Amino acid sequence: MNDLRDLGIAAAGAGLARGEFSALELAEAHLAAADEARGLNAFITPTPELARARAREADERRARGEARGPLDGIPIAVKDLFCTEGVLTTAASRILYNFVPPYESTVTQRLKDAGAVMLGKTNLDEFAMGSSNVTSYYGPVKNPWGPSGDKDLVPGGSSGGSAAAVAARLCLGATGTDTGGSIRQPASFCGIVGMKPTYGRCSRWGIVAFASSLDQAGPMARSVEDAAIMLEAMSGHDQRDSTSAPVAVDGFLAAAQDGDIRGLKVGLPLEYRLDGIPAEIDALWSKGIDILRRRGAEVVDVSLPHSRYALATYYIIAPAEASSNLARYDGVRFGLRVDAPSLDEMYERTRGEGFGAEVRRRILIGAYVLSAGYYDAYYLKAQKVRALIAADFRRAFETVDVLLTPTAPSDAFAIGEKMDDPITMYLNDVFTVPTSLAGLPALSLPAGLSGRGLPLGLQLIGRPFDEVTVLKAAAALEADAGFIPLPARGYAAPGG
């Protein structure tokens, strides 16, 4: 059944419809693949029996002529930041090592209602805080395109487990969340498609919160078409989420199957041509520009003058919101509890032992910028700069339809390579953070290989709730980029 692993969501759905194989056979093939590739550490909690049960239900529906659509019977993985009823949900943190939610997140419920078969919960940076997937309490995820030399490579973060699982053909698609680039950057590092929808497009209800004004769920898949299929199922208004937008969900799949961009105006942000950008990243950007021009698009320069302040702004706002959101983990109601003689000491021990170093760092930064005497100087000023960044994008979109940029400033780096310098690690988000601050839709797709033979991604950014144009431009890029996402199968860590 190994050939079943090479199918995309659309192709697998068509095969199921024709009766070429069953949903159970499709699930078994991917469960076997995940078992063979345990060395990747992509999954925290595999759910094989649940997957088999849902696959059998999909087969029974199809036998009755009641198939639910293109996702019915399709095996997917779920980032372990989405609450799943009756299934361990840890956010890759020790502090939630035993948390089994009594409810289902809106996004995963919608995927379940569409017939998707959950294979398990994927690894991530602890509480989604990181760009490498090495801060997880459950250990680092390894990039299926590695190792390079004698070093294992990061898959990117925070949605690194989902990205690795999709790239290694352990599932046909996966959910991710993106706060400052946590879908797009790992998609670039692993050679897959990852989309951050407009903020408010997908409900945040039931997703463990990092930074509430930034967090957004999105699909990760091996093609633009497959990402569009997932996005249509994941999106929609949710009354339980006050930030969920009552905007119609329509046309995503049709746009991904179209690719006609004649007359489209594509903007190139001048400020994204950074000093010291690797030549191969610049060459990839030029390749993308040439493809879009050949396809009939008009390419023009635009300016986003405040984007230079985006990283500093993000690393004030996101930790501030994190320090507030993570205050609920106190050892009283759920998760880890470290007993102590007094209540205050119990709080201190639980949080000190339950949170990893990166999470503690961000909580401290956030508490500092929100503290008396510093709120106006840091947090309030960062919010004003965020408004200026969003205004820059609005002005740019008065003259263009979509923006094209690199996704990340490099290919995948070695595990542990940047852990001693948090600032260098944070710079991985330089191309993705401005979009998150503005709440815009953005998609990363693989467009070439680095000199080391590792994937490189290009990013397309659109107007608010204009995922259709982003998907259409992405389909055009994908058709001519010539990228074949085929990392080595059966990768296992040394001794794994």
Q: Which residues are catalytic?
A: 79, 158, 182
Strand positions, DSSP E, 19-101: 43-46, 75-79
Distance between CA atoms of residues 437 and 390, nearest Å: 7
Q: Among candidates 285, 300, 272, 275, which has minimal Cα distance to 434?
A: 272
Distance between CA atoms of residues 247 and 123, nearest Å: 31
Distance between CA atoms of residues 57 and 40, nearest Å: 30
Sheet holding 265-269, edge to edge: 43-46, 117-122, 75-79, 173-178, 216-221, 193-196, 442-449, 455-462, 402-406, 265-269, 298-302
Are the beta carbons of 432 and 180 closer than 8 angstroms?
A: yes
Distance between CA atoms of residues 230 and 110, nearest Å: 10
Burial 124-139 (b: 16+ CB within 10 A, else e): bbbbbbbbbbbbbbbe
Q: Among candidates 435, 495, 437, 496, which has minimal Cα distance to 470?
A: 435
Both tokens of residue 162? 């989902």
Dihedral angle, C-alpha 72, 442, 385, 210, nearest 10 ° = 30
Degrees to nearest 5, angle at CA 293 with 289 and 297:
110
Distance between CA atoms of residues 420 and 429, nearest Å: 17
Are the beta carbons of 246 and 358 closer than 8 angstroms?
A: no
Q: Among candidates 224, 168, 188, 274, which has minimal Cα distance to 449?
A: 188
Both tokens of residue 89? 């949900």
Amino acid at 191: G
Which of the 8 DSSP states describes residue 379?
Answer: I
Distance between CA atoms of residues 8 and 80, nearest Å: 23
Sole residue written with tokens 């994204």: 272
- HSE toward the beta carbon, residue 77, CA cutoff 13 A: 36
Degrees to nearest 5, angle at CA 217 with 334 and 305:
120
At 92 the three-state DSSP class reads coil
Both tokens of residue 181? 């680039």
